[in-house]
Amino acid sequence: MKMLRYSFLMTLLLLLPAILFAQKREKKKKEEEKPAVVAPQPVVEDKPVDDVPRNKNAKGTIIEFKPPYNHMLVLAEDDEEGRYRHVFLTDSTLFPKHKVSYNKDKRKPVKPKDLISRSFFRAGMEINFHFDHYQSSLRNVAKEIYLDDDYFGNAKVNGILEFRDGNRAVIDGHEVRLDNGAVIKGEEEWKNKTFTTFNQMQLGAELTVRGRRDTTGVIFVKKGTMRPVDITKDDLMMRRAMNRAMVMNKDVLQIGKETSFRFVTDRNIFAYVNDIGQKLIPEYLKSLDIEHPDFINFKFYLVHDDSFNASAYPNGTVIVHTGLLKQLENEAQLAAILGHEIAHVTQRHHTKSYRNGKDWQAFADFSNVALGTQVSSDIPAQVIQAAKDMKYSSYDRNQETQADRIGLQYMFNAGYDPREAAKIWDKLAREEKNDIESPIEAEALQFAMNASSTGEQRADNNDRAKKMAAMGQSMRKQDFALMMFRNVAAKKGESVYASHPRSRDRYNHVNFLLSTAFAFKDFEKLSTGESEFKNIQSKITAPASTPVPTSTPPGSGSNGPKPPKPLKTPKSKPGGKSFVKPK
């Protein structure tokens, strides 16, 4: 009996796996025979999108950026339509010190030490921004916003030492400070001399310094050199030639037979403009004796001319047009213009611009006449033309930028708010966008082409320029006029736009300077001088009883004015005001 039970159990154990396997297979077979049940899928609406974001990079200037720092107003370069003006920030927006790398569409990690707080960014800074642009809504969502390399890292500055205070100084319009242990070595006649503070150095000397620029815009100097600077024979020649070419006849400043400026003879207005100009001159130049060879006899003249212009000449003469004063808003803006023109003279841009020109020998010969070594007293046509061309500022882009930079320092040191300078270029940039071709642009074309033309060609260029301006005005089409303007200039191998920064570029540059060199200045005590300026402005804009001519027509011959007497060099006490008062 026991054996039967044992056999039964053993058989059952042997058959159990087979039974379980058979049951499992049967169950699987039944499940496969059942109809398939499909789980319901979520319904995705195929809705048309308004925008597919476009991956873009741009460069611009911050116009406004305030707490809570989620929206930035930007003036982007080459964005005339304002498509990228409004930039929105999210939690994923980064503010790195430098450009961020990508691996396909994935942003590479950025170390915390290489990030900047978004509150550090402020109006006026030049930025690069990487963003998604939504074309229909004009919405821009920033991915990264970072500063130009000029804000950080190694820096080199070369220029004239014009302001000093212990270990702080201004060189070429840049604020610099000496690092601990920094030494400036002397060169040429100062060889083997060393200097450890700026107070030991001579104002007016040329310095070349190297260091690092930090986020405040200040350059901390580690080393550098200094050499003495004397006025060169070429500089003296330019000044003497201009003194001879520019002559005064009663209340008229005349350049040759064709061009003349009629002074504003109201003594209060004349003194007002001159006083502002005198305040802007660097102290190291004003302190020189009038007989010193390095002394520059700055004179500021206000003349009747409705164009928005001011011009400087190598002998220190600065011409300001009444049209300029009519469009400015305050005294600080006038100081910005005058400071810019003064910088052209102190940095000797005229000599640098004309030294390599084909008419340079005419200056040299005429300078000898002025010194009395030749008999002839006739003024060469090349010198007359050069003096006329200087009305339109014959400087390159680097010189214009340098004059903006140094001019800001001049106005700041004189107590004026440098922020007003940016407003001038902003206004002009807006007008450039909307204005049609004007006669003054035709005159500028004339200057661009006259630089390498003969007398007959110049007359032809003048007529073509005037016709183009008239054509542009009559058609009321700015693009056509500008196209013609640039096309004819290009035929002469030059373009007036090729050498001078646009107003928008200058606005961006001035804002860059304000956000670096002037970022932490106290503007509260600085002046704009609006009230007195408005009083002067009202006198200029008052209707005149009789029209005042601004130039003598060409070809007047014997019927024209008699040859005026040479402009005499006025004398004044060292450091005092020096100008020729109009009768």
Distances 356 to 68, 207, 343, 445, 471 between C-alpha atoms, Å: 55, 25, 21, 21, 36
Pairing of strands 168-171, 174-186: antiparallel
- Which residues share a beta bridge with 249? 252
Higher pLDDT, 452 or 70: 70
Estimate the crossing angle of helix 360-370 against helix 233-245, to 10 degrees. 70
| pLDDT top residue among 374 and 385 | 385
Q: Could you tell me which of 583, 579, 10, 56 has the C-alpha nearest to residue 271?
A: 579
Distance spanning both ends of the chain, measured CA to CA? 152
**pLDDT value, residue 380:** 67
Give the tens place of pLDDT for each residue, 189-228: 999 999 999 999 999 999 999 998 876 778 999 999 999 9
- DSSP letter (8 states) at residue 45: P
Domains and CATH numbers, the chain: 54-147 (2.40.50.320), 151-227 (2.40.50), 232-377+529-559 (no CATH)
The letter for the amino acid at 426 is D
283 burial type by CB count under 10 A (0-12 exposed, 13-18 middle, 19+ buried): exposed
Whole-number Cα distances in Å, 364 to 235, 293, 453, 575? 11, 18, 20, 30
On the question of a cis peptide bond just before residue 561, with omega within 30 degrees of 0, the verdict is: no
The pLDDT value given to residue 343: 95
CA 18 to chain centre: 93
CB 229 within 8 A of CB 205: yes
Q: How far apart are CA 93 and CA 110, in angstroms?
A: 12
Give the per-residue pLDDT at 469: 47
DSSP state at residue 109: P
Model confidence pLDDT, tens digit, residues 341-360 = 999 999 998 888 777 665 66
Most confident of 34-43, 340-349, 386-395, 466-475: 340-349
pLDDT at 360: 62
Q: Which whole number is the average pLDDT over 304-329?
A: 92
User: How is residue 274 written in tokens?
Assistant: 């001159």
Identify the pLDDT of residue 357.
62
C-beta of residue 95 within 8 angstroms of C-beta of residue 146: yes
Instruction: Kindly provide the b/e burial profile for residues 237-266, where b requires at least 16 CB atoms within 10 angstroms of the residue's own CB.
Output: bbbbbbbbbbbbeeebbbbbbbbbbbbbee
Question: What's the confidence (pLDDT) of residue 182?
Answer: 94
Conformation bin of residue 558: beta by default, left when phi > 0, alpha when psi is -120 to 50:
alpha
Higher pLDDT, 541 or 87: 87
CA gap 313, 16 in Å, rounded = 115
The model's pTM: 0.69
Write down the pLDDT at residue 194.
96
The DSSP bridge partners found for residue 147 are 127
CB 228 within 8 A of CB 205: yes
Residue that is written with structure tokens 């001078």 in the block: 500
pLDDT tens digits along 407-457: 999 999 999 999 999 888 888 877 766 554 444 444 444 444 444 334 444
Report pLDDT for 332.
95
Highest mean pLDDT among 347-356, 380-389, 466-475: 347-356
Q: What are phi and psi of 450, to 5 degrees?
A: -65, -20
102-134: pLDDT as tens digits: 888 889 999 998 898 998 888 778 889 999 999
- Residue 470's CB is within 10 A of a number of other CB atoms, namely 14
Cβ neighbours, 10 Å, residue 9: 10
pLDDT in tens, 144-177: 999 876 677 788 999 999 999 888 899 998 889 9
More confident residue, 178 or 35: 178
Q: Which amino acid is it at 157?
A: V
Q: What is the DSSP letter of 189?
A: G
